[in-house]
Structure 1
């Protein structure tokens, strides 16, 4: 967030005065009005004379041989007139001085040689005040007076002047203050500071209501309701509990500032896709950073029912870096009382606002049904893969036939994918980070292995159809790509860290009870790896599978057995599953058919092991029937017929 600089005196005057209100020197550069200069005097007895009255006309600052005078009508409630004797030194011929005017607090101070003199003390926050001071009448002198006068560091005159006058305008200070605060990245902090320094226990602003609570040695905790007088329904106001541990044992007295923000415009620089509730509470302790409280602070919010596709959570508006707002949920627990009440229990405080953030969730409809379908399909595929793997081994027992070995690799990969997917939900609920990281990496390995073996099926079929080589590559190359490449990718991601962990999938009908699984997290590194590796590999497998499917159909379209409807359907369906083109349904999950596509994706791909077993069983039955027929014609599938000569060799 870019730092916003004040470009005119009027923009600076309200917000800049809030940072320092104690007895300081150089830090006073940010106050509303600051006129400084060198007072040339005779070095003898010196006096500070002031005569201040209410109104908004002008202020006159003058100096002569012995007296520095401040007089005029610029205050809201302060009427003071007196003379202060200053320390004198015969060796000192000039004194550096500054005049500070803070209209919102109706406070005026003069600093001479580093010593502050408060002429008008802070008298609460003023509704109407005199500000926007501009230079008026001036009169020069030749010997004694004000030299090198400046306003907020900008030199007005290098020459020696006797009198400077400044005229002011009357404005609504509270409204102007709220407008300026809402434009600052630390607007909430600015409001809390001015509430604390107003010297009153109850401050009412157009944008906030602040209460100051003093904690002494006998503080035993306190319950109270942070009321906003303009609200008709008192039940809608937040209730707060301050624990005894909030009082520091090393301080006799401490002040707590509790601020109820009437407008959430100050907090609109929060996270995207989120909406803040109207009730926003800020809590801070004077000059302290509070953390790791043994008993937490509790704030109960009363609000309208949160939409079904959203969830409420307690977050902190924290500014750890200059002008950079961070929204964090660390240190705060969200307790849902009912649909209209949410309680925040926080063990730390600093300058931030505690609030309930309504977070828009990316929800999934019919998540329970989809989860059940996928689990059942994976269970069926597990059994099918075991049966098919046993059949492939028994069918060519003792013979290292390459086609059968490639099929075995794909079956083993699908088995691992289904097994790890069934276990991932259970591992996520264990609550152990290491276990979930391991579970997520195994599931990723199963997915990559399945996609790689489908790519190997495409590549191997291409070699057979085109007869590129008289002798195909050795089988270990296929296994190196099918299992070795996924192992290398997953090991690399594990070494990077923060890639695998708990992932939540939110159902649209109950956003507070998400489905938890061990998978790749939603952090930037994980999302980047997902799109590059998973989506990239999936797109490659699907596109190459579609091309290979077209080539195979083109090669065998004129064969006699292909003209049989059931053979053509079985061949196309089997090759579609074998080449992974059914995974392409994942790219069609948009538009009005998105829900139907999602159901088809879950059903077809979770039952992929079963479909492959069914295909191989049907091809074997058709082959046996063909061998027993009198004419010797082949009724096997087109792919089996195409590969028959290769298998015999």
Structure 2
């Protein structure tokens, strides 16, 4: 009965100490601890040695140590222990009672074991009892006599060293993909291609072998002459909890005939790379890859393309969102620049229930991109483009005309011009610059001048930030007029506002350019005419989407929230006065303030919707905001006519009404 319990305990220890892969070596025994003890571990070539003494359990092996000294439990008595080596995981581990000690995390090399040396006893040294060991050949337990010292001689083979190198390279790539850095001496994608070459030459038993971890996994299949005459089917393991939880590959037999050529009796290798991270496949548009799953397929040493029968790759995934369309793509590397991008030439996409099927006539690295469904017909895109150009031209002309009129005429008639009008004119100036820069940026993108495109992108970004800043200043001025109880005179107030309105955007753009000059340049936008056909629209703009999201969208969100609050305060002030007969005047005030505060820009938040509502929102956003300068022009001249019609209008007798920013002079 004691033997059965002991065997069961050893079995449980084996389960506890195991990892995802089975151990390649184990050594188990029983130690009588009569005093406080500790473990010492040291690296020793070509041997695994276990040596016992009254206060120390000394272990040595040819693996770099994680720690060299461990304290054992204080409680005295008999302890059962097991020493495990997991070559695939690179772990050399000891279980002692209920405690686990990791002796090495770099125990990768594979070795050939020889029979252990004869156990040794030393005078006065306690022995280990109930000892057995097992190694790779079936892991059958072999009992050993009680002793104080056990030693196993091991040696590495050339084939095992190559397996070790491949496993190490896979771990290096996996670590890089989790935390991309510039520390690699060879380009990461180049290392991946070199790894494929090593995998085609690795020696292993059986017809297939899998290497690597969950991040980067490589499967090598041997294709002999008998299998080359039939299609090859491969099914991956189920990956529970991932967006893509599996894939299936079907390679047509004609592929092997094309690769083999005259070498009819030669064995071919199929290498399947399964990557769950797209860090090696970053394009300029930061395309979204479904589940970050990338599958690489190579057969032999010859590139394969133009197959008469397609390679079929099936991805099994979770239910996709309604406004997202999967698209099968492959990774194409530009040899002249060393950069890559996702392309769909030679690939067809078939969508199904929780699966996407890719049919391609070549072999490389494949993935499924998540494309926003083209819910707007191509004809609407043409209409929107025409509206944008016409609106920007009209807005620019109207803004320039208003500014010229104000400078030439209004300042002579109203030398004491209000702060309101000066702020409005600066906003119109920013709108004029934005319209002009937007009209020229697409044309400059086609000029073969990197410097000109960078300058155009900076100018467009500067104009946009100036518009947003002056909208914020409009809100601040409204705060001074409506919210603040006491008007405080500020010396050179307009000059200070100009320093903020123009200086802050210049500073932001300068910092972004100084940090990295490549932050500005050609920006490619893939425009879909249909699910199968797309064109690239190029403008000179910000090349880093993160900067756009943080600086532009973040800045606009702050300005919009503040200005909305100020407009609400203005509405409350108008309702509080309850002046009958001035409804039209108040409506004009609110309409104009909505324009100068940039409230219509908030329609951009609704562009993330879908269907007909999204189409209506895009049309409204395009029409109103491209004509913003023209609408402010109309509002300004309407107010001028109102002032000329009624001299009492700009300075109402009511003290509360005098606080409303509705006049052209003050």
Q: What is aligned with 1:618?
A: 638
Compute the displacement of 1:459 (Å).
Answer: 2.4
Residue 553 (structure 1) aligned with residue 564 (structure 2): no
- The superposition leaves residues 163-215 of structure 1 with CA deviations (integer Å, 9 ceiling, x where unpaired) of xxxxxxxxxxxxxxxxx99x989799999756524499x956796544699xx
SS in 2 for 1:314: strand
Alpha-carbon separation, structure 2, partners of 1:618 and 1:236: 78
Q: What is aligned with 1:150?
A: 152
Q: What is aligned with 1:513?
A: 535
SS in 2 for 1:410: helix
Q: What is aligned with 1:606?
A: 626
Alpha-carbon separation, structure 2, partners of 1:151 and 1:191: 33
Does the CA-based 8 Å contact 1:256-1:283 persist in structure 2? no
Larger radius of gyration: 1
Does the CA-based 8 Å contact 1:378-1:419 persist in structure 2? yes
Alpha-carbon separation, structure 1, partners of 2:521 and 2:277: 29
Residue 9 (structure 1) aligned with residue 24 (structure 2): yes
1:247-646 to 2 correspondences below 5 Å: 258-261=269-272, 266-270=274-278, 273-274=289-290, 280-282=296-298, 302-303=311-312, 309-315=325-331, 330=339, 334=343, 336-337=345-346, 339=348, 342=360, 354-362=364-372, 365-366=375-376, 368=381, 369-398=383-412, 399=415, 401=417, 402-430=419-447, 432-465=449-482, 466=484, 468-470=487-489, 473-497=492-516, 498-507=518-527, 509-510=530-531, 512-522=534-544, 527=546, 529-557=547-575, 563-591=581-609, 593-627=613-647, 642=660
Alpha-carbon separation, structure 1, partners of 2:389 and 2:253: 45
Compute the displacement of 1:33 (Å).
Answer: 5.2
- The superposition leaves residues 78-103 of structure 1 with CA deviations (integer Å, 9 ceiling, x where unpaired) of xxxxxxxxxxxxxxxxxxxxxx998x
Residue 134 (structure 1) aligned with residue 144 (structure 2): no
Compute the displacement of 1:480 (Å).
Answer: 0.7
Alpha-carbon separation, structure 2, partners of 1:14 and 1:614: 78
Does the CA-based 8 Å contact 2:330-2:367 persist in structure 1? yes
Compute the displacement of 1:387 (Å).
Answer: 2.0
Does the CA-based 8 Å contact 1:35-1:149 persist in structure 2? no
Compute the displacement of 1:496 (Å).
Answer: 0.6
Query: CA 1:257 to 1:16, structure 2 compared with 1: closer, same or farther past 3 Å?
Result: farther
RMSD: 5.3
Alpha-carbon separation, structure 2, partners of 1:561 and 1:28: 86
Query: CA 1:480 to 1:190, structure 2 compared with 1: closer, same or farther past 3 Å?
Result: closer
Does the CA-based 8 Å contact 2:221-2:270 persist in structure 1? yes
Query: CA 1:438 to 1:344, structure 2 compared with 1: closer, same or farther past 3 Å?
Result: farther
Q: What is aligned with 2:109?
A: 30
- The superposition leaves residues 384-423 of structure 1 with CA deviations (integer Å, 9 ceiling, x where unpaired) of 2122222222332444734433222111101111222222
Compute the displacement of 1:610 (Å).
Answer: 1.2
Compute the displacement of 1:504 (Å).
Answer: 3.6
Compute the displacement of 1:614 (Å).
Answer: 1.1
SS in 2 for 1:133: coil
Compute the displacement of 1:520 (Å).
Answer: 2.2
Residue 196 (structure 1) aligned with residue 201 (structure 2): yes
Query: CA 1:485 to 1:269, structure 2 compared with 1: closer, same or farther past 3 Å?
Result: closer
Does the CA-based 8 Å contact 1:413-1:449 persist in structure 2? yes
Q: What is aligned with 2:81?
A: none
Does the CA-based 8 Å contact 1:421-1:443 persist in structure 2? yes
- The superposition leaves residues 360-400 of structure 1 with CA deviations (integer Å, 9 ceiling, x where unpaired) of 13466438254443333222211221222222223324447
Does the CA-based 8 Å contact 1:449-1:482 persist in structure 2? yes
SS in 2 for 1:413: helix
Query: CA 1:425 to 1:364, structure 2 compared with 1: closer, same or farther past 3 Å?
Result: farther
SS in 2 for 1:647: coil
1:49-198 to 2 correspondences below 5 Å: 131-136=137-142, 148-150=150-152, 196-198=201-203
Query: CA 1:212 to 1:640, structure 2 compared with 1: closer, same or farther past 3 Å?
Result: farther
Query: CA 1:614 to 1:233, structure 2 compared with 1: closer, same or farther past 3 Å?
Result: same
Does the CA-based 8 Å contact 1:333-1:344 persist in structure 2? no
Compute the displacement of 1:546 (Å).
Answer: 2.0
How many residue pairs end up in the alignment? 458
Structure with more of its chain in strand, by fraction: 1
Query: CA 1:404 to 1:620, structure 2 compared with 1: closer, same or farther past 3 Å?
Result: same
SS in 2 for 1:309: strand
Q: What stretches of structure 2 of length at least 5 have no aligned partner?
A: 1-18, 26-83, 91-105, 120-133, 156-166, 175-191, 211-218, 235-248, 260-265, 280-287, 350-358
Query: CA 1:331 to 1:462, structure 2 compared with 1: closer, same or farther past 3 Å?
Result: closer
